[in-house]
Structure 1
């Protein structure tokens, strides 16, 4: 009290305000000086402004295109964009991504701080978002990663081939009757596969609410987490805005509720209690619960990640496949020739068929328009690292720009042209590429998508069957003219898919139609063991299932 009276008497209130302002400006100047000093050591990029960095330079939509442009402008495989006071590094080159994320995977297995997606989204304890900066964090992340690989890794997915094949047969059957609903058929198929894998229950109808609700939730998360200058991602620039209560902060868009936890745990617990299907992922998790001291939120996130991510990405890939067929019909002819020679009309393709062009076709689908267009969530080094003399500080947000990587003219000549032959040795457009797959759709290193093998396996058999069974082409108007399609007309979220479009999907021959019908009926009989229905719905769960929350929430 004495001190405040002294200052007010001898300096006056305006002097105090001026002193505070001077200190604030001085501190801000020191901070900005540090940012500029750090910038001199980082990969090149646009000049950051104080406090806001480059945030307001970000485009309103599809920032990955801007990152690609910056990479060309600065003639650099890595570029730095400042989100507020924090640098983010974007890798726009396949070889740089492989060198950093794959060859140095040991120090790039962590995540940075992600305020919107992690802290206000699905939590830092989720495998997708986990830190690995301390030994304890790294050990817990390894437990989650081990469980996912045991559930859906390369060695595990072969046992899923029978029902993946049968669900794929049903896609073909459904396309015979309602080809205009191809998006719904793909979403049902993808959701049903991961539901069988995860919970031992198939999804029989495209009208099942769990399809539309889960996929809508995935789209919302993908849309909300695009780097940009709008809310909610603007909170990454101004973190103090996240401190406001949600009730008076509309910019938080309902984030921070962790609402998926109870729902997916209830689904898991419901599946665990039902007899049979002991090979399902949730029953495996409950068997290992004591061994790994799994908490309820961990079981929820592990099963929820499988369900949410697998349904949206796989269906979006198949929609891109249809778009490619429509816009590049010349690529279908070699596929038909190969399939007619190896398979014939009396049966559909099987996993053990030798179909090199079809395999190249699938690879080109993954490359041409990858769903996870910026390679999933960002990595962060667990210690300072250097690449070509540039500093990559510990904890820095560093991410692969799959859009730029897959459109590099050096690796993929005429990259927007859909050309499966580029994956065949001897073709003039074939180029070396890091890794045996020839694409980087599923991420890198120890953070590669754990469901990659499951997705690749299912996508291969489904595309092979649809190429064998159907002529997929642009739709004709009543006057005979074709409805033109735009190969760049995609959604703006991090998991992108083509905007809705019309097309024509017809069986190639009557004999093939008969085979599709016969195999579809057989598939329904073989899949009957997975029939069932959950009593839970995401949209009503938290209003109508308080007792279930208490029941499952108290389980140990």
Structure 2
């Protein structure tokens, strides 16, 4: 056989193999496209063109819901995408039909390359996800979350003192509070300075990377999964996330090693990580699974609590004269002026609780409704065909600003939660998600937001800041960050004690908790 003939055979074999691999990868997608085309008349309505490169896609999604209705169809690359724009549609599908609407889309960048399939928040149905869900719910269900209230109360008293002594740095104080509660509840150690704590810094880096890669359509590998196997030397985008993955593993395993050390020394307070170690053998989890599971509340809980409280302060600056006097009258009647409000007071404070609900409704941090869901079977809803494998986005910006449920939705009106309303679920809003993917830390998060809103209203007057000429400085209630979670951009405010007596109570209670906080210092 001549050299030329051999070369032809090799090239032919290479082409045949390449075509075979291509067909193997593309046939499922082509079959899906044929199914969609054959039933295109049954699909939900939607635009014929897709906007790309949007910094705040939730704004466009709301425009689509207003134009096309509660269920909108988008063809984003090879994946059918459904945008839900009403609480009822989200409840009907994600809650009532949770058996087929509770999986996740495939996250190649964030879930596979960056996280090695270890983040339960992004995991599809699997034995791993069931173990993860069982552990998170056992660690943060309502009764268990009540055992964390003493920690939240202690840290809240620190927050009140921080706001009293340095009100201009309120955003830093909120972030320190949220970080310290989560880290203490999870690992049994406090965060005293959010700006210098190395663990907080590393977590912020990890979450920043995760949210930056979890943007639909940003990376070609999400559309063409075979690109995942390109060697890192030829794919800088892959090398970057794999390097971050090494850092994440080092952080999470290092935190668990410290937990084990303190447990062996008999100085570890009760915490979620301790619970995980006790359950690890029963569930057959590896050390790495346990480490990533412990990191779940740490990764997800800091920004949500701090962002919600920042939105509350923004609402105080913009609309405070409409609701703060009513709240303070209720607090004065129920609590008085000799002590801070407690968790035991909250059932007797319906107007304050309405302010909490309106805060979570008005500007949800998880503005896109959290991590998207995915369907595991074909379905029909109101005569519309929803294909298997669809990505489901229940955008809270659309749902919480739906005028049918919330008239004048950009107005901050706690009274709407004191009026009889026909809204699915128990909260009157949808901030914590739905069904099997509902936020496992919702009780912890709600407790943090509630106790701090009650105490801030009790102890402080929150008003617009004034400029050098004594003029009030207006704030922009639409100035929010981009990204997977959205929180207020920096704004100015005036936070002053209601009276010297209120300030004295804050100082006294801060002084009294110092000894109790010692057990959580490392």
Measure, in 2, the Cα distance between the counterparts of 1:245 and 1:483.
Answer: 54
Q: 1:531 to 1:87 in 2, by over 3 A?
A: same
Which of 222, 247, 267 is residue 211 of structure 2 equivalent to?
222
C-alpha displacement at 1:33, in angstroms? Answer: 5.3
Q: 1:114 to 1:497 in 2, by over 3 A?
A: same
Number of the residue aligned with 1:51:
none
Is the contact made by 1:412 and 1:431 (CA closer than 8 Å) also made in structure 2?
no
Cα deviation code 1:418-471 (max 9, x no counterpart): 11111012xxxx632111101111111010110011100111101111111111
Q: Does 1:312 align with 2:313?
A: no
Of 465-474 and 215-224, deviating more is 215-224
Which of 244, 253, 258 is residue 265 of structure 1 equivalent to?
253
TM-score normalized by the length of structure 1: 0.84
C-alpha displacement at 1:59, in angstroms? Answer: 4.6
Measure, in 2, the Cα distance between the counterparts of 1:29 and 1:300.
Answer: 39
Number of the residue aligned with 1:106:
99
Q: 1:29 to 1:468 in 2, by over 3 A?
A: closer
Number of the residue aligned with 2:38:
37
Which of 372, 381, 394 is residue 375 of structure 2 equivalent to?
381
Number of the residue aligned with 1:340:
332
Q: Does 1:480 align with 2:466?
A: no
Cα deviation code 1:475-508 (max 9, x no counterpart): 1111111221110110111111111112111111
Q: 1:373 to 1:140 in 2, by over 3 A?
A: same
Is the contact made by 1:84 and 1:238 (CA closer than 8 Å) also made in structure 2?
no
Measure, in 1, the Cα distance between the counterparts of 2:104 and 2:288.
Answer: 19
C-alpha displacement at 1:278, in angstroms? Answer: 4.9
Listed as ranges, the matches of 1:283-294 within 5 Å are: 283-294=274-285
Listed as ranges, the matches of 1:179-328 within 5 Å are: 179-207=167-195, 208-228=197-217, 231-232=218-219, 234-252=220-238, 254-257=240-243, 258-259=245-246, 260-274=248-262, 275-328=266-319
Measure, in 2, the Cα distance between the counterparts of 1:327 and 1:58.
Answer: 33
Measure, in 2, the Cα distance between the counterparts of 1:144 and 1:452.
Answer: 16
Which of 471, 483, 493 is residue 461 of structure 2 equivalent to?
471
Of 394-403 and 349-358, deviating more is 394-403
Cα deviation code 1:218-240 (max 9, x no counterpart): 24432432335xx34x5434445
Cα deviation code 1:343-395 (max 9, x no counterpart): 12110101111100000000011000101111211112222222112222223
Measure, in 2, the Cα distance between the counterparts of 1:77 and 1:386.
Answer: 14
Of 205-214 and 407-416, deviating more is 205-214
Number of the residue aligned with 2:141:
153
C-alpha displacement at 1:216, in angstroms? Answer: 4.2
Is the contact made by 1:168 and 1:189 (CA closer than 8 Å) also made in structure 2?
yes
Q: Does 1:497 align with 2:487?
A: yes
Question: What's the secondary structure of 1:290's corresponding residue?
Answer: helix
Q: 1:157 to 1:468 in 2, by over 3 A?
A: same
Listed as ranges, the matches of 1:360-439 within 5 Å are: 360-425=354-419, 431-439=421-429
Measure, in 1, the Cα distance between the counterparts of 2:487 and 2:116.
Answer: 26
Q: 1:100 to 1:303 in 2, by over 3 A?
A: same
C-alpha RMSD over aligned residues? 2.7
Which of 161, 171, 182 is residue 173 of structure 1 equivalent to?
161
Measure, in 2, the Cα distance between the counterparts of 1:326 and 1:339.
Answer: 19
Measure, in 2, the Cα distance between the counterparts of 1:145 and 1:110.
Answer: 13
Structure 2 unaligned residues grouped into runs of 5+: none
Q: Does 1:526 align with 2:519?
A: no
Measure, in 1, the Cα distance between the counterparts of 2:512 and 2:417.
Answer: 35
Number of the residue aligned with 2:449:
459
Is the contact made by 2:233 and 2:239 (CA closer than 8 Å) also made in structure 1?
no
Question: What's the secondary structure of 1:305's corresponding residue?
Answer: helix
> Would you say how many aligned residue pairs link Structure 1 and Structure 2?
500
Measure, in 2, the Cα distance between the counterparts of 1:518 and 1:416.
Answer: 38
